Structure 1
Amino acid sequence: MCGIIGAIGKANVIPVLLEGLQRLEYRGYDSAGLVFTNYGLKRLRTTGRVNMLGRLVEQQKAHGLSGIAHTRWATHGEPSERNAHPHFSGDESRIAVVHNGIIENHEIIRVQLKSFGYRFLSDTDTEVIAHLVSFKHREAKDLFEAVCLAVAELQGAYAIAVMEEAQADRIVVARHGAPLILGVGKDGNYVASDVSALLQVTRDVIYLEDGDIAELSNHGFHIVNCLKNRLGEPVNRPVYESHLSNEEIGLGSYAHYMQKEIFEQPSAVANTLEMFSNTQSIAPNLFGSEAETVFTNTKQILILACGTSYHAGLIARYWLETVAGIPCSVEIASEYRYRNPVADPATLVVAISQSGETADTLAALGYAKRLGHSYSLAICNVPESALIRQADLRFLTRAGPEIGVASTKAFTTQLASLLLLTVTLAKMRHKLSAAEEHQLIMTMRHLPKALQQALLVEPQVEIWAQHFAQKRHALFLGRGVHYPIALEGALKLKEISYIHAEAYAAGELKHGPLALVDNEMPVVAIAPNDQLLGKLKSNLQEVQARGGELYVFADADSEITPGDHLHVIRLSEHAGLLSPILHTIPLQLLAYHVALVKGTDVDKPRNLAKAVTVE
């Protein structure tokens, strides 16, 4: 989950590397470092954020025509300068490497390399790559061939950039299971983990594929693929023009990216649903040209996802079974891939990921295919991601860049996409009349406006946040389709405020969690005016009877009256199928404002990173 960038050009590339790292900090921010050419390879490393690396650059007056840089999310070894990338091998600085991913067989290789006299100065798996490339260079004619030979022995996921002191006018890069993008510019060539890091210099990008190894120089680049031949076969990868704008990845008038992304949700959902905004009916080809055939043959759904995307899948299960009448199971991707489930070829596997690079979700989808599942659908926010390329069908959420580590607009656009999938399958399975389909279409078209209305509760949430910030624990309750929303609310609060929060189906209170309730335990409840409201009210009375402090997000017509130790914020009237999406908004705002009061780093919470590209 680290971020890497490299540049080789006709002028000083250090500013390009630093700005690129700033835009990649969402991928990790435990430490940062860079290597650049200046009569040999010079290295600067520091713990902490990229701005601290920038101060070192200023102090050293660093200047170089080529370089590679890295911002780290620690996996092997604590955040420290000696574990920060780049890592060296050889005589002081012969080979330099930066790496995103995890090398699963690093311990075996480490033992072998130690027997050949290599000395390890860090706890990282990345240093193994540097020494292995150095070792292979003894038999290889150049750095490019050495990298080809080295990566053939690596197991796991990696995106690497390598420089050699003897020929520092080129950079060799390789990718397997972790994202890596080339940038083609007028004044140089570049590599990065994400397009956003390259917008400062170019919009022309190449998405490398698994097994690709490329060499960059001032004069151009060439790419080979090593999946069939360890020394690689030449390949041509298309150049795409990125339409991502600097405004989309900038903060604008907002204090934090999370705040910006919460308030972007009405437009993000509108963009996601735009393709059917002028139609009178929903067609399966929204999910791909083969979708009608696939959906016709689908007898059940299997959803694979992690974290927030998993919560989206749990909500979709209610929708798919209730509206479309199709059986649905939801699996945590990291668990599914390590058990032996029974595969049914008539199951549609739906993989959900914001980045499309989530390692566990990618591996779980591949595993499902190997088990015999015939059809797959990716719901994702990144068009050129590995998940999109791996699935048979695809739907882009069009949320735009999401930089804050705690997911907000990616979640609500996933829900909008899954609702669209539900309505499509319901129509194909003859579970909807024409009138019901029309009503659902009109309801979904109204969703952006409804989200805008939900954002208006912010001033009331800010008041609640003052009380919450003093607490160490919180309990979240929901029933039915809103139970996963309680899970998501608890996740948001713990992610960015570091308050321990748990979520339960409200009916489970009496089976254990009620023991936690006292006047120091705030209890958040989601209370829509649905068929389970009466049951939920009984659960809330159980909390009140034990002296608990209740904070209830209710519909305008839920008939829950504020009182002693019972606080209520009202949204709109009950929104039917859309209710879980709307009730997400105040929970996001609560987490955000509690974090502000506590003074935590909202966009970069401790120990976390955005794109989880490691297992």
Structure 2
Amino acid sequence: QPDAVLDAMRGRYLASGRVDLSGDLPPERFTPEWAQRLNRVVIVGMGTSMHAGMVGRHYLERFARLPAEFDNSAEFRYRKPVLDDRTLVISIAQSGETVDTLAAMDEAKRSGCPQITLCNTPGSQTTRVADGTLLLRVGPEIAVASTKTMLASMVLLHALALYLGHLRGTLPAETEEAQVDAALHLPAALAEALDLAPQIERMGQHYATREDFLFLGRGVNYPIALEGALKLKEVSYIHAEGFYAAGEMKHGPIALIDEKMPTVAIALRDEVADKMRSNIEQVRARRGEVVAMVSHGDRGLANVASDLIELPEVDPLLAPIVATVPLQLLAYYIGTSRGADVDQPRNLAKTVTVE
């Protein structure tokens, strides 16, 4: 996965501290005037792609200063969305053939929206509908459950947000330089995260007999809690749910906590760290086991959590990209310990082409 992310970044994140997407988005079409005219972004996708879009919303609002929302492609057209030619629609579909995402793009096209698509398949249907394409360039993904395409989608949404911010004049040069520098360190951080595999394999064997899991995240890491739950469902056939931590746990999910329901908490060193610690303590008080994903060197939860996974230190906004990998590994090792076919899970297809 470090190599896949490096391929996705090559030629786009520059050593000069700039992001350049002019090779993907023709400058004569995607001009500063066009970008400055935008007043809203809508991101559509399904499953893993939707979770990547949820992370991308944070980037677009932070750097491009555009209100951004995400929607499930299958539901998008049925709510009769309010769209016009100042609404940028970003679609994410690794295959470029997902039927619901294509239907959402058709809805956007009827409303005259400019469209950019992220996909991994040159010449696919989404690339023919969109005005511009950001190819993931990570090579074929053979397993049904998406892994490297998830990481590349988040990276390219980060790049797109920086690029739009530059075009719109909303992104200070020093911020762009700092974000580009942080992104260029991602491949090394991902390699460090993969080195956690032996530790996570032992956890996978320990938790393989459980039948329910809860995943907690907050802010930019909330979508990663959803993605962790999805991966566990896909490859191990265990029921799992993802939630906002402080915001939602007390509104129902806490009733599920007992010694048979482990919780995976993304508790990195960020602005919500104290709230995440409070939630972990509440789970432990109800005899629930907790796997806490923490920042490198953070031992503050060592006496509270059942297990710690220490992530390499990265910029907090890029942490979701690195945090995804240990959750993929955890799902993989739980699945293999249960004897599941993690590459070809039952009832699933790589590309969903029928409704």
Pairs within 5 Å for 1:410-429: 410-429=149-168
Give the superposition deviation at 1:386.
0.5
Distance (Å, rounded) in 2 between the aligned partners of 1:535 and 1:429? 35
- Equivalent residue number for residue 611 of structure 1: 351
1:436-490 superposed Cα distances (whole Å, 9 cap, x missing partner): 2222112111111111111111111011101211100000000101010000000
8 Å Cα contact 1:528/1:574 also seen in 2: no
Q: 1:282 aligns with which of 1, 6, 19?
A: 19
Pairs within 5 Å for 1:10-159: none
Distance (Å, rounded) in 2 between the aligned partners of 1:347 and 1:578? 26
- Equivalent residue number for residue 111 of structure 1: none
1:1-54 superposed Cα distances (whole Å, 9 cap, x missing partner): xxxxxxxxxxxxxxxxxxxxxxxxxxxxxxxxxxxxxxxxxxxxxxxxxxxxxx
Structure 1 stretches (4+) deviating beyond 3 angstroms? none
Q: 2:80 aligns with which of 336, 340, 349?
A: 340
8 Å Cα contact 2:4/2:148 also seen in 1: yes
- Equivalent residue number for residue 408 of structure 1: 147
- Equivalent residue number for residue 203 of structure 2: 464
Distance (Å, rounded) in 2 between the aligned partners of 1:565 and 1:436? 35
8 Å Cα contact 1:548/1:565 also seen in 2: no
8 Å Cα contact 1:294/1:375 also seen in 2: no
Distance (Å, rounded) in 1 between the aligned partners of 2:125 and 2:201? 39
Distance (Å, rounded) in 2 between the aligned partners of 1:602 and 1:397? 23
Pairs within 5 Å for 1:163-562: 265-278=1-14, 280=16, 281-289=18-26, 290-292=29-31, 293-370=33-110, 372-507=111-246, 508-562=248-302
- 2:280 corresponds to which letter in structure 1? L
- Equivalent residue number for residue 593 of structure 1: 333
Give the superposition deviation at 1:399.
1.1
* Structure number, greater radius of gyration: 1
TM-score, reference length from structure 1: 0.56
Give the superposition deviation at 1:525.
0.5
Structure 1, 336-345 or 541-550: larger mean CA deviation: 336-345
8 Å Cα contact 1:354/1:410 also seen in 2: yes
Question: With CA pairs under 8 Å and 6+ residues apart, which has the higher RCO, 1 or 2?
Answer: 2
Give the superposition deviation at 1:325.
1.6
Give the superposition deviation at 1:430.
2.7
Question: Kindly, what percent of the aligned residue pairs are identical?
Answer: 45
8 Å Cα contact 1:286/1:395 also seen in 2: no
1:306-343 superposed Cα distances (whole Å, 9 cap, x missing partner): 01000000111112112322100101000012221111
- Residue 321 (structure 2) pairs with residue 581 (structure 1): yes
CA gap of 1:564–1:530, structure 2 versus 1, over 3 A, is: closer
Gapped regions of structure 1 (runs ≥ 5): 1-264
- Equivalent residue number for residue 82 of structure 1: none
Q: CA RMSD in A?
A: 1.4
1:215-258 superposed Cα distances (whole Å, 9 cap, x missing partner): xxxxxxxxxxxxxxxxxxxxxxxxxxxxxxxxxxxxxxxxxxxx
Distance (Å, rounded) in 2 between the aligned partners of 1:481 and 1:537? 17
- 1:314 corresponds to which letter in structure 2? M
Alignment length (residue pairs): 350
8 Å Cα contact 1:312/1:414 also seen in 2: yes
Would you tell me which structure has more helix in proportion to its own residues?
2
8 Å Cα contact 2:83/2:113 also seen in 1: no
Distance (Å, rounded) in 1 between the aligned partners of 2:136 and 2:171? 24
The secondary structure found in structure 1 opposite 2:123 is: coil
The secondary structure found in structure 1 opposite 2:169 is: coil
8 Å Cα contact 1:309/1:353 also seen in 2: yes
8 Å Cα contact 2:280/2:305 also seen in 1: no
The secondary structure found in structure 2 opposite 1:608 is: coil
Distance (Å, rounded) in 2 between the aligned partners of 1:344 and 1:539? 42
Give the superposition deviation at 1:434.
1.9
Distance (Å, rounded) in 2 between the aligned partners of 1:331 and 1:299? 17
Q: 1:563 aligns with which of 282, 303, 316?
A: 303
Distance (Å, rounded) in 1 between the aligned partners of 2:188 and 2:278? 32
Distance (Å, rounded) in 2 between the aligned partners of 1:591 and 1:603? 12
Distance (Å, rounded) in 2 between the aligned partners of 1:557 and 1:511? 32
Give the superposition deviation at 1:583.
0.2
CA gap of 1:564–1:444, structure 2 versus 1, over 3 A, is: closer
- 2:160 corresponds to which letter in structure 1? L
1:177-235 superposed Cα distances (whole Å, 9 cap, x missing partner): xxxxxxxxxxxxxxxxxxxxxxxxxxxxxxxxxxxxxxxxxxxxxxxxxxxxxxxxxxx
The secondary structure found in structure 1 opposite 2:78 is: coil
TM-score, reference length from structure 2: 0.95
Distance (Å, rounded) in 1 between the aligned partners of 2:225 and 2:277? 16
- 2:126 corresponds to which letter in structure 1? L
8 Å Cα contact 1:557/1:574 also seen in 2: no
Distance (Å, rounded) in 2 between the aligned partners of 1:597 and 1:393? 43
- 2:105 corresponds to which letter in structure 1? L
CA gap of 1:342–1:403, structure 2 versus 1, over 3 A, is: same
- 1:357 corresponds to which letter in structure 2? E
CA gap of 1:447–1:359, structure 2 versus 1, over 3 A, is: same
The secondary structure found in structure 1 opposite 2:354 is: coil
- Equivalent residue number for residue 235 of structure 1: none
CA gap of 1:594–1:586, structure 2 versus 1, over 3 A, is: same
